[in-house]
Amino acid sequence: MTATPLPDPHGRFAHTPGNAGVRVPALEARSVVKSFGTVRALRGVSFEAFPGEVTALVGDNGAGKSTLIKVLSGVFPPDGGQVLVDGRQVSITTPQAAAALGIETVYQDLALAPDLDDQPEMRRRTAERFRELGVGMVQDLGVPVASFSGGQRQSVAIARAAMWAQHVIIMDEPTAALGVIQTAKVLELIRSVRERGLAVVYISHNLPEVIQIADRIEVMRLGTRVARFRRGEADVDRLISAVSGAYANEEATKGEPR
């Protein structure tokens, strides 16, 4: 990882002198390019996620969402472009480097240890974090994760990420396999994470759910960003049009939407 800016005493990276009052993304991609052989997965895509907001990333299969997220979380190095944390360019070469910058990712497979031996200190810290986030889906922290329901496992994965994240939590399809009640509880947990001031990146194919939870929506198609919306600016039909290529918000590529 290249030179990383030192955090200020409040846990945020110091901003460049002269930009006081400017809203700076917690995590940003600028004109990022990534290819796999002859396949151009990312074609100069840009993306921003701001503190205290849920930014949804949507697009059809093959749009480049997963590749972008893997670049931002240190799984793939970009071939070109810039990645910035709190306005400072960084090089995120590994998931460990991302974690050191305060970026945590909750993948679809959750990556939980189903039969980990119970540790009293771990249980105490987990219970404390659950209380802070208002997690009520897990009643007995002494039982193995293998016995949890899908919603309970998702709650554990999100709470674990929130325990370590300082800036950003990336969530890849967090409600894809959940029922209606479990989905509602996970969405409420995501709101609690947002209220703690973290930037939440929310990847989902469920467009009504995206409209419900997201403060901002960014749409990708064919490896680039084609539209951005603030809360209330798009309905499901407009999002479908952007995902399919029938609509493009040209101004979205020129800077933050106003």
**Global pTM value:** 0.76
The dihedrals phi and psi of 13, each to the nearest 5 degrees, come to -75, 140
Report pLDDT digits (tens) over 154-168. Answer: 666 666 666 666 789
Cα R_g (the chain), whole angstroms: 18
Amino acid 107: pLDDT: 76
Exposure pattern of 52-77 as b/e (b: 16+ CB <10 Å)?
ebbbbbbbbeebbbbbbbbbbbbbbe
Are β-strands 39-49 and 54-58 bridged in parallel, bridged antiparallel, or unpaired?
A: unpaired
* Percent of the chain's residues with pLDDT above 70: 66
Taking the C-alpha atoms of residue 78 and residue 50, their distance in angstroms, rounded to an integer, is 21
Report pLDDT digits (tens) over 39-76. Answer: 999 999 999 999 999 999 999 999 999 999 999 999 99
All domains in the chain, ordered by first residue? 27-253 (3.40.50.300)
3-state secondary structure of 101: coil
pLDDT band at residue 22, thresholds of 50, 70 and 90? confident
